[in-house]
Structure 1
């Protein structure tokens, strides 16, 4: 029984990572923001700060309005720790390519994004 729970738990975590990737690919900031903790440490290109969930969504909506996603590929995922996840994506947009990374922490058995970064790929 315990083993089944662990497998189910891991499967759900992978779904969260895939769901967030899908939100980024479709530029669905409203759905993406549901995965954010109440405050998010965000770095977007050269701007960084700690923002509320609503502020973070507005900032990302503006970013995706200027950079329409065309492809998202997970390049690295760290998901072996039960309380922490880290994901790196390659984001192709209509204009440029970006490296997106985010950290998820376990908060009452729910993984929430606590850090989110978008950096240009040179």
Structure 2
């Protein structure tokens, strides 16, 4: 019964992922801890910052580092707390990521060029208290 619930949740999550806009798609993939799928959305040179370790990396390196992050911080919930899409060539969002290892603030930028959308920046920071 529990496995069936998990499967239904995953199917529902993936269904909404493909129907939602790119901002929501990234948030859904964060909640699922899907480093591989997030890697597919990245530009060839992604500005990646995970807990202060900031660098420009390839898609493969981004995927590997996200896998490492998700292995110690199992995602529980994601909530988009800010989004900006008034610029026709740039989307920016900030999300709150709750994990088994604590709460994080995730911000990401998606550049739109000739109809193609690629994530150009991803930052994961420890969430500061009120």
In the superposition, the TM-score normalised over structure 1's length comes to 0.86
Shift of residue 81, structure 1, vs aligned partner: 1.1
- Spell out, residue by residue over 1:40-91, the C-alpha distance to the aligned partner (whole angstroms, 9 max, x if none): 0011102010000100010000000000000000000001111001000000
Cα RMSD (Å) of the superposition?
Answer: 1.6
Q: Which residue of 1 aligns with 2:74?
A: 68
Shift of residue 103, structure 1, vs aligned partner: 0.6
Q: Residue 34 of structure 1: SS of its match in structure 2?
A: helix
User: Does structure 1 residue 26 correspond to structure 2 residue 32?
Assistant: yes
Q: Residue 21 of structure 2: SS of its match in structure 1?
A: helix
Q: Residue 82 of structure 1: SS of its match in structure 2?
A: coil
Aligned with 1:91 (options 79, 97, 107): 97
Shift of residue 108, structure 1, vs aligned partner: 2.4
Q: Which residue of 1 aligns with 2:84?
A: 78
Aligned with 1:100 (options 94, 106, 125): 106
Unaligned runs of 5+ in 1: 1-11
User: Does structure 1 residue 47 correspond to structure 2 residue 40?
Assistant: no
Shift of residue 107, structure 1, vs aligned partner: 2.3
Q: Which residue of 2 aligns with 1:5?
A: none
Q: Which residue of 2 aligns with 1:113?
A: 119
In the superposition, the TM-score normalised over structure 2's length comes to 0.81
